[in-house]
Amino acid sequence: MDRRNEAAESREGLLRSYDKGERTPMRMSLENAYRSDSESDIDATDFLDRDPLNHQSQPAVQAYGPSIELARLRRSFARRSKCFFAILTILIIFWTVVAGGGFFLYKVAPVDGMSPPWYPTPLGGTSLKWQDSYKKAQALVEKMTLPEKVNITTGTGWQMGLAVGNTGPAIHVGFPGLALQDGPLGLRFADNATAFPAGITVGATWNKELMYFRGKAHGMEARLKGINVLLGPCVGPLGRMPAGGRNWEGFGADPVLQGIAGALTIQGIQEEGIIATIKHFVGNEQEHFRQSWEWGLPNAISSNIDDRTLHEMYGWPFQDAVKAGVASVMCSYQMLNNSYSCGNSKLLNGILKDELGFQGFVQSDWLAQRSGVASALAGLDMSMPGDGLWWGKGQSLWGPELSKAVLNGSLPVSRLNDMVTRVVASWYQLGQDDKSKFDGEGPNFSSWTNDKMGVINPGSPDDRDQKVVNKFINVQGSGDEAHSIIARKVATEGIVLVKNEGILPLSKDGWPTSENHEINMRVGIFGEDSGAGRGPNVCPDRGCNQGTLGSGWGSGAVEFPYLITPAEALLDAFNKDRVYVTNFPSNDPPFKTTPVILKQQDVCIVFVNADSGEGYMAADGIRGDRNDLYIQKDGEGLIVKVALGCGDGQGSTIVVIHSVGPVIMEGWIDIPGVKAVLMANLPGQESGNAIADILLGVVNPSGKLPYTIGKSLEDYGPGAKIQYYPNAAIPQQNFSEGLYIDYRHFDKEGIEPRFEFGFGLSYTTFDYSNLVVSPVLPKSSLPAARTPGIDPPQYDDKIPDASEALLPKGFRKLKKFVYPYITSTSIKKGPYPYPEGYEIKQTPSEAGGDEGGNPDLWNNYATVSVDIKNTGSVTGKEVVQLYLGFDGVKGEAKEIDFPRSVLRNFEKTELESGEKQVVEFNLTRRDLSYWDIVRQNWVMPTEGSITIKVGSSSRDLKLTGWY
């Protein structure tokens, strides 16, 4: 089976469209006005006009005005049919209407959300923990030619290589091309690999050990499949909008939960020698308008986030990732404060590389790069997949253009050297020079075909050289080391029991032995989500909701090696001699024509779901982001029918929900027949086994909600609503709610949720006592002074001779493949208009100093201990959650606003019946601080007390102490 048709609809925004008989992305329907078919027609001196909006401030838009957009349209009109002309006319009218002035809006800079310039890019190699890797990298980079350096920083193009992302090698120095592969829950497009539970399920476990071991198994599979860079984990989106299409790839709607889970996942992945990629940096909270042209608009949405919110919320988990030593950061599609994230110098240079001390390399999301030299100057180190502004054209913004930029002086050689060194140092840091673990031959599977034989570069019509591309190596482990074991544990502990009126756990033997029943217990299983449907892999990238839901859709999804369905597992788990089980895997069972199928049941188990995914494809009328927070496919109607009719109104109904996020339950949860409700999230391949273990009491439920379940979408506040329609030609999204998302918003507004963040029931009970807060270090307002770090590598930054980059004689080029070579040594030289603010000397942030920021931020300033006792009759696990409250903190002439409670740590502990344990926490300076926008540093309140609250959810805080 050829995966190229599937891939043509995949990876960050591809849709079907046909142009002159070729399959092309729909968003490429307007030809690239910035590039011709000949690379020689574009000189790197044009490095700022690849995309006018890539400047650090919006006056660039005013300078270009509507002329570029109209020119683009005129050229498109000249090439297109009358039919296409009509379509474009409609689009123009659409833009004009929604923008309240259409193209005239391009002449006006948005009032809010400006991103200041921050240049030049801080050099990598300042952290002692990376010293040896940077020394090795420097020795290698010093020997590289200009084309080799460009090869390492530029992707070879879409479908130009076996992985979804591939870089060229530096052959003469022995550095291989790197293979980059999705994704956050398994290896996309791979055979014989595990489909792990999704991130949201991992977050629902609140189990640090499982977070680490899942990451380690994931990293091992990537290594055994020949991958260098894994495109995960995901901590952005954070979950600001509960209907966000990709929330399920992350770990929950709180920065601390995301940060801890992300850091432990990274630790596991990178212990296997795989470069982990934390993504998407930062503010990609919805799928609508996330990137240029995908929704008919020429520019992506701008997420306008204030400084404090960026640090305390959306940037927080990325800081944890950098502290954990993550070697790659992926910048996101959308703009941040009206500068594209992959060209935002304040974000990449100022925050990530200076303040957070990031030592690895920044890679673009696939086609998130919107400029050439400007993005390099802003801190981008690697362009993925290398194509430039349009999919599959082979017209890169880097590649030969980057070679020209260096040769003509528009890109300092020092910046290119730093880009290359960061990549090579990451390779050494993860031990990928160890030939016993990495043979340098690249992937042993193809992302583009399931056949054994195929071509390496299917994106090029010139590549007809058939080779073995799939070796079908099984990397799932076996026996006690099988990765299905960790997958099952995560899926099981990721199930959250939110309602139980004594019906659970069920017995596999049916009726309790103490009760006298003449016939066996009858259990009816209802809902399409209980069964296999047409199989988990019937739709590309899991882009349809049918059968039981194991994951969302998009580039974060994987091929399932198998999927244990709930019905299959329950049929196998019940004692067939004592329990009669029937299954109706449909959301529309024949209740009217055959009422006995409902009336004759003693227990009814209903399986329903809600799906979403990446915005490049639609399923069941949903384009990425969910349309609402309701159960889909009339699952709510099914629940009501079953709950009212089960056992002719005398039976008990159990509702199991597989979902990408919270769902509204108000239409059915209080029906008397609904005795239990479980949020089973997205469980991966072991779905049925996990739910059977919980329902039958083989495992005591211990999952906790990683988000709040409200009673309506309105309960989450105006900032939680997806922006389904553009409010400008450049859609603007102001994060005006600041720190108040999810449970923080519910607390502030005094809104009673249906089930709060951190909530989850057990089959046992726990008692909390003896909270002790012990200061370790005295309070002080600011962290210790920044330390300078070690000296980074230094190079001879002389511009090389142009002949070094010439296309070698007799070299056979593949069409659409991105090469570093130029075709002429006639290079036009400067002067060049560097970005505004480029000459300003930046003062290093006092919040910085090493990986993760100022080392003092990570020192422990207080310890907290609490006694937990299992007061029930069965063994169980409890998630002990620690929240902080800041009251009456004074800032510059005014009181600082704080949420009522913010999560700062958690521990999960297992206790036998009657057992008591002491659970301990450390609180760091960062935990006890807030971001001061005036002092531009983390500030610890020194007057008064910081309230410390410990409990079993954000609303069930049982004990209080002070520091």
Distance from the Cα of residue 674 to its chain's centroid: 35
How are the residues of the chain apportioned to helix, strand and coil, as percentages rounded to the nearest 5? 30, 20, 55
Q: Where are the beta strands (DSSP E) in 21-83?
A: 22-23
Q: Amino acid identity of 604?
A: C
CA-to-CA dists, residue 592 to 638, 643, 957, angstroms:
13, 15, 48
Report the 3 state secondary structure along 647-707: HHHCCEEEEEEEECCCCCCCCCCCCCCEEEEEECCCCHHHHHHHHHHHHCCCCCCCCCCCC
Q: In whole angstroms, what is the distance from residue 739 CA to residue 211 CA? A: 26
Nearest to 132 by CA among 355, 379, 382, 430: 430
CA gap 311, 319 in Å, rounded: 9
Contact between residue 316 and residue 942 where contact means Cβ atoms under 8 Å apart: no
Q: How far apart are the first and last CA of the chain?
A: 62
Task: Give strand pairing partners of 521.
Answer: 579
Phi first, then psi, for residue 226 (nearest 5°) are: 85, 25
The continuous run of DSSP H or E covering 568 comes out as helix 566-573
Closest C-alpha to 53, from 110, 121, 97, 118: 110
Q: Distance between CA 498 and CA 679 in Å, rounded?
A: 7
Taking a C-beta distance cutoff of 8 angstroms, is the pair 420, 150 a contact?
no
Rg (CA), the chain: 28
Q: What whole-number distance in Å separates Cα of residue 545 and Cα of residue 563? A: 14
Distance between CA atoms of residues 708 and 748, nearest Å:
14
Catalytic residue among 365, 387, 463, 693: 365
For residue 208, how many other CB atoms are within 10 A of its CB? 15
- Per-residue b or e along 771-804, where b marks 16 or more CB atoms closer than 10 Å to that residue's CB: bebeeeeebeebbeebeebeebbeeeeeebebee
Measured from the Cβ of residue 375, the count of other Cβ atoms closer than 10 Å reads 29
The enclosing H or E element of 99 equals helix 82-99
Give bridge partners of residue 680 from the DSSP assignment. none
Q: Which residues of 485-512 are buried (b: 16+ CB within 10 A; e: fewer)?
A: ebbbbbbbbbbbbbbbeeebbbebebee
Nearest alpha carbon to residue 660 among 616, 707, 715, 700? 707
H-helix or E-strand spanning residue 322: helix 316-323
Tokens at 355, concatenated: 């303040």
Q: Is 365 a catalytic residue?
A: yes
CB burial of 127-136 (b: ≥16 within 10 Å; e: otherwise) equals beebeebbeb
Query: What count of residues does the chain have?
Result: 963
CA-CA distance, 374 to 382, in Å (whole number)?
13
> Residue 702, exposed/middle/buried by CB under 10 A (0-12, 13-18, 19+)?
buried
Report the alpha-carbon distance of residue 511 to residue 519 in Å, rounded: 9
Cα dihedral 866→872→873→878 (10° resolution): -50
Catalytic positions, written as ranges: 365
